[in-house]
Chain A
Amino acid sequence: MSAHSSTWDRRSILRAAAGLAAAGALGACGGNNGRGGGSGSGKRLVQYFHAYGEPGTEQAIKRYAKAYSKADVTTQWITGSNFESKLFASLLTDQAPDLFEFHPQIQLVRSGQVADLTDLIAPVKDDFNRADIQSHTVDGKIYGVRMIDDPQFFFYRKSMLQKAGIEPPRTLDELVEAAAKLTTSKVKGLFLGNDLHAVINPLIWSAGADTLNEKNEIAYHTDAVIAGLRTMRKLFTSGHLLLDAPADFWDPSALSQGLCAIQFSGMWAMPQFQQALGDDLGIMPFPKVGDAGRPSVYNGGWSVFVNAKGKNVDAAKEYVKWLWLDRKEYQEDWATSYGFHIPPRTSIAQATGKLKSGLPAEGVRLFNEYGHFDNIGWTQAMITATEDLFADCVRKGGDPEAALDRCDKTVNAELKKLFG
């Protein structure tokens, strides 16, 4: 038979296929590291970004990167709700990003993870919001460049409040009452996010307390905070709070789909809220807790850091300087073309028309009047401790004092590690 004389019999084909498969598998081991192949003379940089919800953001970040000529910058767009753990885990490996976005946290400085960017920023330092410089400074050195400031506050449907005959609440107790009055069979009064963690710091600040004091000691363990936690528990069990919504607080859909009347969210979502609700939209800060309190707004945001343990520290610094210090048109595009963010640089903030009038201007006012910026000494371990605090005594109904004591223990251990 002719088949037998052919060199391509069944066995040799199988053998060849197996060999190819093995080679392919081995090749995959070395190749897919996100840095692209080849070994050209240009530097290759990897940057990590958490997945922004606003349409166009990923394309924008990649567009900026592409416009940079001195290095080939690859973007890893990290989806999911645990960006920090993915980031921290990858920083331990040699697949670590060369630059990444995060919040200022001192343990990254202490462990030598983030590079000193003082010299880079020095020429334009005065153009930055002073609080944004301060929140990135340790012992006189600046460790990150703020890209955007994101004040977080309540959005509400004016029409629904009007129908229920209530004014925007000015105290936490009024907020609880409002939630009750606004709740109908179809609509819940209030949405604070599915795990309530977005309002932890606002609650602390609105109760006249703080996360840490100036000497980096615990400042959140006060009677007003305890009272606030009890009120939150009351609210949580009242049935007037929207829980287990398909999208969390950072997404505008709870309010814009009519699931609730008041939603905690951030400046970034304002364009989407406006698009969905038009003029039927108001904003307000987290109301004061107790008599001594004062309304508060968390001025969150994102900053870019350079991985000091990476292989391309200088190239990464150069890219940060190019994009986040020199190219103002990109910085403005990033801050205002997708979601709304407040540009940390005064010159850009003043030149930006979009934030000058109407609701965005109101957001800027809340940012300036009630805003609390990040404290670099308040680290991820402490943030998690307060999240556990909320889980234990607001969602689970444990005793706030005991939960606070447990939280203190974790925070103090962390403080001791960081500050001695």
Chain B
Amino acid sequence: MPTTTTRPVPARAAGPRPRRRLRGSRTLNFWLFTGPFLLGLAVFVYVPIGWSLYLSFFEARFTVTPSEFVGLGNYREILADSGFMGSLGTFTVFAAFIVPTTWAISLGLALLVNRLRFMRAFYRSVFFLPTACSYVAASLIWKMSLFNGVRFGLANTVLGLFGVDNTAWLASPDPPWYWLVIITARLWLQSGFYMILFLAALQNIPQELYEAAAIDGARPGWQTFRHITLPQLRATSTAVILLLLVAAYQAFDEFFNLLSKTTWGRPPLVELYYTALGQDQNYGKGSAGAVVLTVLICVVTLFQGRIMGFGRGEESK
């Protein structure tokens, strides 16, 4: 297939127009198309990452153009910081819960929607819709109307019907009800998106496999699901888990908005936000934490790739 469509040349056009040369040069076209994106990537992603790395070796309080080199001092400080190390613990708890739950719920939704005979597009859209909502907006709704501590909050109203006293969902860390608020908000926001990924994968499973299984005597339902659907979804599952893990690492908005002025329930990014942009404005220490976090994400991703075979060729499955 030709990459450039040749238009019928009008009779009056004599000789090549100068613009043709521009269209002909593949190199120029390449840069024309990728250039703006690469520029954005460099300016907004790679330069900040490099700068952060640079800052992490300097005493950088209240400045992003520091002069005092401190070597690994910031790293020593951040690794000895109970707040930062605690935030890694918080993250682990959070990820251990949110990753499998979202995986299961979005897979479940995908299976349900996939089986629908009518109104499939409607349900697909309905479940996908929350993805379009911002985390900040959702947090505010969760905090101020669903899970506020007064009697007319939705959760308290429902519990009130059963005679349960009003609960302060966010103010008190004991019992840690705030996890319920955070987890439900995130589930609502992200399940629909991963459902779409699973749905696409489900529709890609060849029908012949199910037919063959049926001929071999496999019962529809759990047996087919366990031995055909699930293995066929392996690549998608791996990708989803990886994406969920990265999303969990990046968790910020709902924690920041739901838990104000706490010393608990701070995932790494929130902790680093307070380190780098709090009253100390310690960009050096904050950057060191960011680098530690980045390395950690890379290691976990590679490790996960080894276990689950993400990125390996089709033949190795």
Contacts and interface: CB of A to CB of B under 8 A. Distances in A.
Chain B: interface size category:
35 or more
Nearest to A403: B263
Interface string A385-412: 0011001100111000000000000000
A387 B168 contact: no
A350 interface: no
A332 B145 CA distance: 38
Nearest to B177: A244
| Max chain A C-beta neighbours (<10 A), residue from B170, B260, B263 | B263
B68 interface: no
B315 interface: no
Interface residues of A, number: 35
Nearest to A82: B260
Looking at A84, A388, A395, A397, the one whose CB has the most chain B CB atoms below 10 A away is A395
A4 B9 CA distance: 9
A381 B10 contact: no
Contacts of A84: 279
A246 B64 contact: no
A92 B62 contact: yes
B75 to A, nearest CB: 20
B148 A244 contact: yes
Interface stretch (A142-150, A235-243, A285-293): A235-243
A194 interface: yes
Contacts of B145: 246
B279 A384 contact: yes
Contacts of A384: 278-279
Given A197-B261, A384-B278, A384-B279, A245 B10 contact: no
Given A243-B168, A380-B279, A396-B174, 14 more contacts: A22-B36, A85-B277, A88-B277, A88-B279, A92-B62, A92-B63, A239-B165, A242-B150, A244-B149, A244-B169, A246-B144, A259-B151, A381-B280, A391-B263
Q: Which 5 A-B pairs have the closest CB atoms?
A: A244-B149, A243-B168, A243-B171, A380-B279, A381-B279
Interface of B: 7-8, 10, 12, 36, 62-64, 143-145, 147-151, 153, 165, 168-174, 260-264, 277-281
18 contacts: A85-B279, A88-B277, A88-B279, A88-B281, A89-B277, A92-B62, A194-B260, A244-B148, A244-B150, A244-B168, A244-B171, A245-B150, A246-B145, A246-B148, A380-B279, A381-B279, A383-B279, A396-B174
